[in-house]
């Protein structure tokens, strides 16, 4: 199992927890919730951490 830089397993559940703490509720959390429903919260995320953070970042609507 891949690990996050926090030391936790790279699962959808842990990514959601991380995303909530950094971005709060929004499109990125909605995306992760949808994936959790489809695949389960313990599904491993194989994407590179920096690339996945960037993908979640671009999902946010910052209202600019």
pTM: predicted TM-score of the whole model, two decimal places: 0.89
Name the stretches of the chain with pLDDT < 50.
none
Q: Which pLDDT value is given to residue 62?
A: 67
The C-alpha atoms of residue 14 and residue 36 are separated, in whole angstroms, by 11
Which pLDDT score, from 0 to 100, does residue 61 have?
75
Task: Please report the beta strands in the chain, taking only residues with DSSP state E, as ranges in sequence order.
Answer: none
∠ Cα 29 35 39 (to 5°)? 145
Residue 64 is predicted with a pLDDT of 54
- Cα separation, 20 vs 40, whole angstroms: 18
């Amino acid at each position: 199992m891949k690990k996050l830089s926090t030391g936790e397993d790279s699962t959808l559940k842990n990514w959601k927890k991380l995303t909530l703490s950094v971005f709060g509720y929004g499109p990125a959390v909605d995306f992760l919730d949808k994936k959790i429903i489809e695949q389960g919260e313990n599904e491993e995320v194989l994407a590179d951490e920096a690339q996945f953070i960037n993908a979640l970042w671009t999902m946010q609507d910052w209202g600019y």
